[in-house]
Structure 1
Amino acid sequence: MRSGAFSEQPATSPTSLRWRVSPGFTALKCAVTVVLAVAAYFFAGDRSALTAALVAVVVAGAYALRDLLAPVRLAADPHGLTVVSGYAGHRRLEWSQVERVRVDARTRAGLRSEFLEIDAGDTLYLLSTYDLNARPADVAEELARLRTAGGSG
């Protein structure tokens, strides 16, 4: 079984897989939100610093809350996929709706980034290593195996 993947069956014959954000990184976001809130308290006397600190609390809190509300970013079974959609919603896609699954790798400013692209016709879903808590290439391989096992290859 790949890192970040959860399977209800042994890795040799998966029936359902899920990929979720890293719990450790979610905890870090929550801790940063608390630290920023404490900092805002100490900046209560300085109106502009307080405003900046409160904006930072709201932004960090929003990211942490999304991770808490929708930790599973991608789930797959022999019949299709469920992907995170919007802030914390989910959308179910049958395999027949999925036109292509591929990995988009780019290097910019010396940094390499990989995204799992799920093309569902009018909608393109992009999931990062952070979203999946696994390498997008590994997830793409698992999805190809699962799709083939479901007879929708």
Structure 2
Amino acid sequence: MRNGAFSEQPAATPTSRRWRVSPGFTALKCAVTVLLALAAVLLAEDRPALSAALVATVVAGAYALRDLLAPVRLEADPDGVTVVAGYAGRRRLAWSQIERVRVDSRTRAGLRSEFVEIDAGDMLYLLSNYDLNARPADVADELVRIRTAGGSG
């Protein structure tokens, strides 16, 4: 086949996939944490402002740290999925444990939000486009393809 020519064979369906938070968004959270810490230093003389800056620094830092500790929020393969659970833990779910995968859409205050909802009976996992760095509808479709490719219909 010549370089640049198209193949007649269809592209293989991936049998495993990982979705992670955006590295750029994680970097932004880290930068905000540093800026808030600097603001706290500059506001050291003003106790109420210092307190507010320190609380904001801790909150922003906690979100940034979670992204650094658990950047992969969802993994899928023919045997099941691994989802982030709690702050930075992980839980492995076999396809047989998953009752339903769907996209949950809601509109509040004029803003639309979408989540991939993974229903595992006793637990419900909601992952947003910020968690996945992808559209939830695309992720749900990919999960169905991976599950089907693995023979777990």
Q: TM-score, normalised by structure 1?
A: 0.92
Aligned residue number for residue 123 of structure 2: 123
Q: How far apart, CA to CA, are the structure 1 residues paired with 2:76 and 2:31?
A: 31
* Pairwise CA distance, 1:13: 2.3
1:145 maps onto 2:133 in alignment: no
Query: For 1:48-127, what aligned pairs fall within 5 Å after superposition?
Result: 48-127=48-127
SS at 2:76 equivalent: strand
SS at 2:38 equivalent: helix
* Max Rg structure: 2
Give % identity.
82
Letter in 2 for 1:127: L
Q: How far apart, CA to CA, are the structure 1 residues paired with 2:137 and 2:11?
A: 17
Q: How far apart, CA to CA, are the structure 2 residues paired with 1:15 and 1:151?
A: 11
Aligned residue number for residue 12 of structure 1: 12
Is there any run of 5+ residues in structure 1 with no aligned partner, and where?
1-9
Aligned residue number for residue 27 of structure 1: 27
Q: How far apart, CA to CA, are the structure 1 residues paired with 2:147 and 2:12?
A: 14
Letter in 2 for 1:131: D
Give the aligned CA root-mean-square deviation in angstroms: 1.1
Letter in 2 for 1:137: A
* Pairwise CA distance, 1:11: 6.1
* Pairwise CA distance, 1:14: 1.1
Report runs of 4+ in structure 1 exceeding 2 Å deviation. Answer: 10-13
Q: TM-score, normalised by structure 2?
A: 0.92
Is there any run of 5+ residues in structure 2 with no aligned partner, and where?
1-9
